């Protein structure tokens, strides 16, 4: 097989590795062999299963795994307690025991859902993340947050349950729709803005290769991104402080997402609008220089995260911002970019300032 890059996740509770490379899923049986008699279950949405489960199963079987396959419905609608219960029942019917392993094959939805099932079935069994969307590869599969949604809101029932290992294969990105790839790029750019000016320059210089799905470029990009997230989560595994830096662009982004008709906007598209609005505010507050904002705006534009995005109602977006649970007494705690490659969490940002920045960003966006 081709080259492999490993990112180690040194957590006190459970350390693990993220292994990145083209075709790693086809070699999984050898890279992640079973213990004697160990059983595994691959869980994936049907469309991802049709594309990628065949070679994965061949490899697991060749490696000695006794493996089952369970399809789930596609999309966010599958991330609920009913699906989690059905999966737990199927596992019980198949007599999966505490030594069994679940493999989550697909995007962030199946990763969060399968991780949640692994956290609760028999009070917790092992699971392995096999992310196939860019968003899941750089964000959702790393960090151990697992959850399902309630009608009252997203990710309201969940746990911290670290995967046993993560295997990121760049090959599945070849079939990922361009819009999904662009949406994932928003989180990649976010990581560069927070922590790595060099990565930001790399993306500026290599965007065509990234969007061309050039394997070596993707491998480097993914490894650097996972390392940035890992460096933050190992310092704050239970999300009580530093990890809030990863929410850059997300306070406004969530408001934009909530205001878009029928969730027509993709998460990354909303985060891109959010990052720009929040960066504008940082400039107004004298926290960040105009030329850094210009560079961010330029790169988001080149990455296709500035135009062609569904329209969002400005009044609904500002109303959603005001409903945000993090906002107390008209002020909020907000991570802001201080320069390309660095961000800090600021206390006491005034809501009306952020409101204005959001309005400006949406008006400029049209």
Ligand X SMILES: NC(=O)c1ccc[n+]([C@@H]2O[C@H](COP(=O)([O-])OP(=O)(O)OC[C@H]3O[C@@H](n4cnc5c(N)ncnc54)[C@H](O)[C@@H]3O)[C@@H](O)[C@H]2O)c1
The binding site for ligand X (CB under 6 A) comprises 45, 47-48, 74-76, 79, 106-110, 112, 132-133, 135-136, 139-140, 143, 145, 154-155, 172, 175-176, 180
Q: CB-wise, 139 or 292, nearer to ligand X?
A: 139
- Sorted by sequence, the CB contacts under 8 Å of residue 91 that are 6+ apart come out as 41, 100, 102, 117, 121
- Write down the least CB distance from residue 355 to ligand X, Å: 25
- Write down the least CB distance from residue 166 to ligand X, Å: 12
Burial of residue 212 (number of CB atoms within 10 Å: 0-12, 13-18, 19+): exposed
Q: Cα separation of 91 and 125, whole Å?
A: 11
Q: CB-wise, 23 or 180, nearer to ligand X?
A: 180
Closest to 5 (Cα-Cα) out of 172, 220, 199 = 220
Mind giving me the DSSP string for 97-146?
-TT-EEEEEESHHHHHHHHHHHHHGGG--EEEEEE-SHHIIIIITSS-EE
- Cβ pair 242, 265 in contact under 8 A: no
- Write down the least CB distance from residue 48 to ligand X, Å: 5
Q: CB-wise, 40 or 107, nearer to ligand X?
A: 107
Q: CB-wise, 219 or 292, nearer to ligand X?
A: 219
Mind giving me the DSSP string for 2-22?
---EEEEE--SS--EEEEEET
- Write down the least CB distance from residue 248 to ligand X, Å: 13
- Write down the least CB distance from residue 17 to ligand X, Å: 18
Q: CB-wise, 40 or 143, nearer to ligand X?
A: 143
Q: For the chain, give me the number of helices (H) and strands (E)?
A: 13, 11
- Write down the least CB distance from residue 60 to ligand X, Å: 18
Q: CB-wise, 17 or 76, nearer to ligand X?
A: 76
């Amino acid at each position: 097989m081709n080259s492999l890059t490993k990112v180690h996740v040194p957590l006190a509770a459970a350390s693990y590795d993220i292994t990145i490379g083209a075709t790693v899923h086809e070699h999984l049986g050898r890279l992640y062999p079973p213990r004697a008699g160990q059983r595994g279950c691959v869980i994936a949405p049907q469309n991802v299963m049709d594309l990628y489960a065949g070679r994965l199963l061949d490899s697991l079987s060749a490696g000695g795994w006794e493996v089952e396959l369970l399809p789930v419905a596609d999309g966010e609608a599958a991330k609920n307690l009913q699906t989690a219960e059905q999966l737990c029942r199927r596992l019980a019917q198949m007599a999966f025991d505490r030594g069994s392993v679940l493999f989550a094959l697909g995007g962030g939805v199946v990763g969060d859902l399968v991780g949640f099932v692994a956290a609760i079935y028999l009070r917790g069994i092992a699971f392995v993340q096999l992310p196939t969307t860019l968003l899941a590869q750089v964000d959702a599969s790393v960090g151990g947050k697992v959850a399902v949604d309630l009608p009252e809101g997203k990710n309201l029932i969940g746990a911290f349950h670290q995967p046993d290992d993560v295997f990121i294969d760049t090959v599945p990105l070849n079939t990922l729709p361009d819009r999904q790839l662009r949406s994932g790029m928003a989180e990649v750019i976010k990581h560069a803005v927070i922590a790595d000016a060099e990565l930001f320059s790399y993306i500026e210089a290599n965007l065509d290769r990234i969007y061309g799905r050039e394997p070596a470029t993707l491998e480097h990009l993914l490894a650097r991104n996972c390392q940035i997230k890992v460096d933050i989560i190992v310092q704050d595994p239970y999300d009580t402080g530093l990890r809030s830096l990863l929410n850059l662009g997300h306070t406004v982004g969530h408001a934009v997402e909530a205001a878009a008709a029928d969730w027509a906007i993709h998460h990354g598209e909303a985060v891109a609008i959010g990052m720009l609005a929040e960066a504008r505010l940082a400039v107004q507050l004298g926290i960040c220089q105009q030329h850094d904002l210009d560079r961010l705006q330029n790169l988001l534009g080149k990455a296709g995260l500035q135009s062609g995005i569904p329209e969002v109602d400005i009044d609904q977006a500002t109303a959603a911002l005001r409903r945000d649970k993090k906002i107390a007494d008209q002020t909020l705690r907000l991570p802001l970019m201080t320069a390309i490659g660095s961000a800090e969490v600021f206390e006491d940002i005034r809501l009306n300032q952020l409101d204005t920045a959001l309005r400006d960003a949406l008006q400029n966006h049209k």
